[in-house]
Structure 1
Amino acid sequence: MPALPELDDAQLLRYSRHILLEEIGIVGQQRLLAAHAVVVGAGGLGSPVLLYLAAAGVGRITLVDHDTVDATNLQRQIAHTLARVGQPKVHSAQAAMQAINPEPRIEALAQRADAALLDRLLPRADVLLDCSDNFATRHALNRASVRHRVPLVSGAAIRFDGQLAVFDPRQPSSPCYACVFPEAQAPEEVRCATLGVLAPLVGLVGSLQAAEALKLLAGVGSSMVGRLLLLDALRTDFQPLRLARDPACRVCGESSGHSQPSPIRPGQ
């Protein structure tokens, strides 16, 4: 992370509610202003993530999504509007972010997050947020996270069920996504177009992803590393599970036994 920037008077006012928090203060806000977050997915999960990261003053945000805004997205993807149907989601989300806070430097990439792109972006990133909607992308992000030692904040939601986890390859005890959900054991993929999703559920999961990312970037609190949070919105139930590294993991290659919960089939 580059040298911490000084806050001007306008920034001291804009971010005053962060600065008032003893755990964040001026230094924590400076860390946010100096940070670079990469967000893959500008849909249901990505919408609250991107809006909150921009509002909170993360200095540089790269968003990656190859899709365009569709009318069916508007039930839950709050970064988009009816007027922007047909536009690339990254450009629509960028407009929403800049309307809230014009300060962050936003790089909007209307393309798929393949290995080559991730290898270009992650050496300059401080956190990676997985807001994608398919297992192939999730595993590509996980491999890149481990390869470049960048913490990964992962979320998923479908119907009334959500999941949240943080994987931090900088910590020796942290599992990776593949430890918990091995690529060879991925279940049949389903989408929101098939099963549906409760609109505020993606907001809940995405907001928690943003909170975990901001804590990592500001250097405050404790992250969710080693835990998986299961959300049941139908019953308003939150269940944390303990996670550990898989001794046979083909991605991170460390040893530690654990049981494997069922992954939420990505949907948004």
Structure 2
Amino acid sequence: MGEPVKLPPLVEPGPALTLEQVQRYARNLRVPAIGEDGQRRLRAARVLCLGAGGLGSPAILYLAAAGVGTLGIVDDDRVEISNLQRQVIHGNAAVGEPKVGSAAARVRDLNPDVRVVGHTERLTAANAVELVSGYDLVLDGSDTFETRYVLSDACSVTGVPHVWGSILRFDGQFSVFWSTHGPTYRDLHPVPPAPGSVPNCAEAGVLGALPGVIGSAMALEAMKVIMGAGEPLVGRVTTYDALDGTWATIPLVRSQPPVSSMHPFGVFDRDGYGAEGSGAACAVPDPESGSEGEDLDTVGVLELQEMLAARERGDRDFVLIDVREPWENQLSAIPGSVLVPLGEFRSGAAFDRLGEAAEVVLHCQGGVRSAEALGLLRNDDAEAHRNRRVKHLGGGITAWLDGQSRTV
């Protein structure tokens, strides 16, 4: 395993092409590895795209333009103005609209040949197998580890091939997982990272053109699998470093048996974390209840609301620190917070600014940077023999804003 794999076509050819279709797909038809047979396979294919965001946008557009017969789109989100920097399937007029509807309208305008099936819902362990079973191939443009693992398991259970991609800042990677022919996503990442330990694009950022590169490459892999053209990335992972413009391919072998049944994400013996036997991931604060579970480092949204109200009454004294960058603070801020960017914690300048404050609560966008700041501050306090209470907001300001919207 790890060597290039030649596979038979995934889909049988559909009906003969009409004259209009021959005209539309003429450039595809001229490619020897495609021809009329390959184009008819594309026309007969049913592809499910998970996510109409950064990776999904270019993938959906190129699959539609190539003439894939049926495109299913799964997304429960709405278009925001911050999406438009990379989610090129959407435009200004779609801001505030469901992404599924926006993407479907763009596909219909691009190629009326394509049948679009919208799924305005979140993929879960409960519905994943049913969703995946209606398609020949799934393309994963999701941005959470839970969704990636659930989709991988559903594809293993159903035997459906799975094209996966991931991006962050200037780096991208992609592969083809197929349990009947090679490794799956769980062979690449046997144990998920602990919740909040890895930043997403909202936290770490991504250069807008990068998802265009990786999403387009994912669409090409999907077409290769459908047509039986070339050697799809089964048993291999390709990485791309946009800063130096280099590509690398890494062999991947199967390290565990394919999943044969669905379970909720976070089961200890499968996912490597969570309370053993409980089936729940640990240290995930509930923004609705404010519960911290067993994580003594975090405060929940409701708990912070109560702390701020007590401070306003004069019943409690603490400092709320925003460790994000100034431009992020301009976009959104928790009332009563003080901006001290993470760089000042790394340099040590923040420690003088905090002085002898007895209690500090830190926050960032999603919880990753504030966790780092918490560790740096506790180390400095230990060296100074200072007994200070320090916590950070679980889920960051993203959880805070979500909690505010639920109470409006």
Counterparts of 1:184 and 1:14, CA distance in 2: 43
Counterparts of 1:234 and 1:144, CA distance in 2: 35
**Alpha-carbon deviation of 1:2?**
6.4
**Alpha-carbon deviation of 1:142?**
0.3
User: Aligned pair 1:170/2:215, yes or no?
Assistant: no
Q: Which amino acid counterpart does residue 225 of structure 1 have in structure 2?
A: V
Counterparts of 2:223 and 2:43, CA distance in 1: 11
Residue equivalent to 1:182: 190
Residue equivalent to 1:216: 225
Q: Provide closer, same or farther for how the CA distance between residues 219 and 186 of structure 1 changes in structure 2, counting only shifts above 3 A.
A: farther
Whether the 8 Å contact between 1:134 and 1:189 is mirrored in structure 2 is no
User: Aligned pair 1:56/2:66, yes or no?
Assistant: yes
Larger Rg: 2
User: Aligned pair 1:203/2:180, yes or no?
Assistant: no
**Residues 220-258 of structure 1: CA deviation (Å, up to 9, x unaligned):** 1110011111111111111111110004x57379xxxxx
Within a 5 Å distance, the mapping from 1:50-199 to structure 2 comes to 50-171=60-181, 174-185=182-193, 188-199=197-208
SS at match of 1:23: coil
Counterparts of 1:93 and 1:7, CA distance in 2: 26
Residue equivalent to 1:264: none
**Alpha-carbon deviation of 1:122?**
2.2
Q: Provide closer, same or farther for how the CA distance between residues 160 and 90 of structure 1 changes in structure 2, counting only shifts above 3 A.
A: same
**Alpha-carbon deviation of 1:123?**
2.3
Instruction: State the TM-score, normalizing by the size of structure 2.
Output: 0.59
Counterparts of 1:106 and 1:116, CA distance in 2: 23
Q: Provide closer, same or farther for how the CA distance between residues 136 and 199 of structure 1 changes in structure 2, counting only shifts above 3 A.
A: same
Residue equivalent to 2:249: 240
Q: Provide closer, same or farther for how the CA distance between residues 91 and 140 of structure 1 changes in structure 2, counting only shifts above 3 A.
A: same
Whether the 8 Å contact between 2:156 and 2:260 is mirrored in structure 1 is yes
Greater RCO (Cα-Cα under 8 Å, separation 6 or more): 1
Residue equivalent to 2:45: 35
**Residues 93-116 of structure 1: CA deviation (Å, up to 9, x unaligned):** 111111110111101111101233
Task: Work out the percentage of aligned pairs sharing the same amino acid.
Answer: 43
**Residues 189-208 of structure 1: CA deviation (Å, up to 9, x unaligned):** 31222111011100000000
Counterparts of 1:77 and 1:111, CA distance in 2: 19
Counterparts of 1:237 and 1:166, CA distance in 2: 20
RMSD, matched Cα: 1.8
Whether the 8 Å contact between 1:159 and 1:197 is mirrored in structure 2 is yes
Counterparts of 1:89 and 1:166, CA distance in 2: 25
Whether the 8 Å contact between 1:47 and 1:77 is mirrored in structure 2 is yes
SS at match of 2:127: helix
Counterparts of 1:160 and 1:221, CA distance in 2: 28
**Residues 18-49 of structure 1: CA deviation (Å, up to 9, x unaligned):** 11111111011000111100010100000001
SS at match of 2:126: helix
Counterparts of 2:73 and 2:146, CA distance in 1: 18
Unpaired runs of 5+ residues, structure 2, are 1-10, 262-408
Counterparts of 2:223 and 2:109, CA distance in 1: 20
Whether the 8 Å contact between 1:135 and 1:186 is mirrored in structure 2 is no
Whether the 8 Å contact between 2:34 and 2:229 is mirrored in structure 1 is yes
Within a 5 Å distance, the mapping from 1:20-31 to structure 2 comes to 20-31=30-41
Counterparts of 1:33 and 1:114, CA distance in 2: 29
Residue equivalent to 1:266: none
**Alpha-carbon deviation of 1:12?**
0.6
Counterparts of 2:42 and 2:26, CA distance in 1: 13
Unpaired runs of 5+ residues, structure 1, are 254-268
Q: Provide closer, same or farther for how the CA distance between residues 33 and 194 of structure 1 changes in structure 2, counting only shifts above 3 A.
A: same
SS at match of 1:116: coil
**Alpha-carbon deviation of 1:183?**
3.5
Counterparts of 1:186 and 1:23, CA distance in 2: 43
**Alpha-carbon deviation of 1:3?**
6.1
SS at match of 2:206: coil
Counterparts of 1:184 and 1:91, CA distance in 2: 32
Residue equivalent to 1:45: 55
Whether the 8 Å contact between 2:13 and 2:40 is mirrored in structure 1 is no
